Amino acid sequence: MGVMDETGLITTHPDGCPRCWWAGLDPVYVAYHDTEWGVPEYDSRALYEKLILDGFQAGLSWITILRRREGFRRAFVGFEPERIARFTEADVARLMADTGIIRNRAKIVGTIAGARAWLAIEERGPGFSRFLWDFVDGRPIQSGALSRGDIATETEVSQQIAKALKAEGFSFCGPTIVHAFMQATGMVNDHLTGCHRHAACAALAPA
């Protein structure tokens, strides 16, 4: 795990950069923390992929999903909703036999239903990205968390988004999962203020 100070920063990385506690010292986690987590994502397809992967994480650790992400991308044809929406029961059976992913039938079926919901949102406009980002007026929330105790597991906004997603036909998208998704996609910047990525992600917010 490394040496953690009282705020939740890991301060023993070889490069000397302080990082949020959850990244630890695992190279896979550190790379994800430094290059993806908290970076504002506005691409509709990429947002679908991240929402689905967060749903698959339910009951598991995120590192488990990260290590299988390429397997997920292969199994779910690059997370292209237009193709996943056409999946049949034969595809469900194929996925249930795929050891490269988490073989949970309810989550697989939910992924297909989510692809169809994504298409419906895209077709009626203005699209899945706007559908999500409008909840935060198009700009990342800057939480300004000083320590890990300041970081919420769910918020009023994540509750609102979860309710809206479920109404559209998505599953495995409760408020806690949605908040984790918001953190991952930069809808909220929850890097601790002492983390070397906090200011960098804040600077990515649109003017």
How far apart (Å, rounded) are the C-alpha atoms in residues 5 and 11? 7
CB 56 within 8 A of CB 22: no
Could you give the count of Cα atoms lying within 13 Å of 9 in the half-sphere of its Cβ? 20
N-to-C CA span, the chain? 37
17 belongs to an annotated ligand binding site: no
Tell me whether residue 191 is annotated as binding. yes
State phi, psi for 10 to the nearest 5 degrees. -90, 125
Q: Is 198 annotated as belonging to a binding site? A: no
CA-CA distance, 92 to 104, in Å (whole number)?
Answer: 10
Q: 201 labelled as ligand-binding?
A: no
As annotated, the binding site includes 20, 33, 191, 195
Known binding-site residue numbers for Zn(2+):
20, 33, 191, 195
